[in-house]
Copies of this chain bind each other. A is one copy, B any other.
Amino acid sequence: MSFVERGLIVRRDDSASVTYTDIARLAGVSTATVSRVLAGSASVSRDRQERVHLAAEQLGYRPNRAARALRRNKSDTIGLVVSDIEYPPIARLARVIESEAALQGLGLMICNTDESLTRQSFYIDLLLQERVAGVIAMPATDDPQQIRSLLDSDIPTVTVDRIVPDHNVDCVLIDNAAATHALVADLLGHQRRRFLGIFGTQDATPSRERLEAVQEQLSTRSGVTLSVRTLSLGSTIGIAQATRRITSIVQESFGSSAYNPDAIICSNAMTVEIVMKTLFERSIRVPDEVSVVGYDDMIGLDLFYSPVTVADQPFDRIGKRAVELLLSRMSGDADRSQRIIRIQPDMQFRDSCGGGHS
CB distance from A90 to the nearest CB of B (A): 8
Say yes or no: A62 contacts B305, CB within 8 Å: no
Say yes or no: is A276 at the interface (Cβ < 8 Å to chain B). yes
1/0 per residue, CB under 8 A from B, across A216-246: the answer is 0000000000000000000000000000000
In the complex, residue of chain B having the shortest beta-carbon distance to the beta carbon of A276: B303
Say yes or no: A86 contacts B88, CB within 8 Å: yes
Cβ contacts under 8 Å, A129 to chain B: 62-65
Cβ contacts under 8 Å, A109 to chain B: 77, 107-110
A13 to B102, CA, bound (A): 26
Say yes or no: B280 contacts A66, CB within 8 Å: no
Say yes or no: A70 contacts B66, CB within 8 Å: yes
Categorize the interface residue count of chain A: 35 or more
Cβ contacts under 8 Å, A128 to chain B: 62
Interface centre among A85, A94, A111, A119 (most CB of B within 10 A): A85
Number of copies: 2
Say yes or no: is A69 at the interface (Cβ < 8 Å to chain B). yes
Say yes or no: is A342 at the interface (Cβ < 8 Å to chain B). no
Cβ contacts under 8 Å, A298 to chain B: 299-300
Say yes or no: A95 contacts B102, CB within 8 Å: no
Say yes or no: B94 contacts A110, CB within 8 Å: yes
Q: Contacts A128-B62, A303-B280: A102 and B85 contacting too (C-beta < 8 A)?
A: no
Say yes or no: A112 contacts B95, CB within 8 Å: yes
1/0 per residue, CB under 8 A from B, across A285-316: the answer is 00000000000001111111100000000000
Q: Would you mind naming 5 contact pairs between A and B with Cβ atoms under 8 Å apart?
A: A14-B153, A102-B112, A280-B303, A299-B300, A305-B305
